[in-house]
Chains A and B, each alone.
Chain A
Amino acid sequence: DAKTTQPPSMDCAEGRAANLPCNHSTISGNEYVYWYRQIHSQGPQYIIHGLKNNETNEMASLIITEDRKSSTLILPHATLRDTAVYYCIVRVLSGNTPLVFGKGTRLSVIA
């Protein structure tokens, strides 16, 4: 799987949009971009995933650049409960390849 690069930490004011970047410059054409988050002491939680089109669900939006070498996870109105470690993961389409977690970005939402 391609490796990803994320900033180790970010702060965001409550109520503002949180924009979490991820670089995946060696991504292959058959690899998806996944985002998970882990709130303290809990198991990781799936947020969103995409291949090349932008995606939106009830939790977040995922913006993937045209060359697919980077992406941004957007939490439109961050709340204190969004404080967590956010993991950007790329994964091949076929086979039994597992998720490979890096160290992620620790997002702190500040009141």
Chain B
Amino acid sequence: NAGVTQTPKFQVLKTGQSMTLQCAQDMNHNSMYWYRQDPGMGLRLIYYSASEGTTDKGEVPNGYNVSRLNKREFSLRLESAAPSQTSVYFCASTQQSGANQPQHFGDGTRLSIL
């Protein structure tokens, strides 16, 4: 049971480098989400995709772009990484974006930017 798979699990970047975080789900879910979690804090939403072909900004979208490549895959791109983007990034998916649907999370990508 793969669920939500994130790659890579760990990454170190230099300031200014670009990178794409990958996320794929095998549950045929319609909605997908990207969150970041800083030390000692709860998760904050970066971007989400309610359905294939749509994307919307969350609470902290600046410095990021996303692509809903198909129903399974939702990628997060950092065009010019900054130390403030050092964080743990979680991808999640849910069947529908309505409230009565729990979200399923991946195990995260730990990103450090020097």
Chain A residues near B (Cβ < 8 Å): 30-32, 34, 41-46, 49, 87, 91-104
Contact = CB atoms under 8 A, between A and B. Distances in A.
Contact of A46 (B45, B97, B104): B104
B36 to A, nearest CB: 11
Given A31-B99, A44-B90, A99 B45 contact: yes
Interface string B31-44: 10101000011111
Interface stretch (B68-76, B79-87, B105-113): B105-113
Given A96-B97, A98-B33, A98-B48, A46 B102 contact: yes
Interface of B: 4, 31, 33, 35, 40-45, 48, 50, 56, 58-59, 90, 92, 97-100, 102-108
Nearest to B4: A43
8 contacts: A32-B100, A41-B108, A43-B105, A43-B108, A44-B105, A95-B98, A96-B97, A98-B33
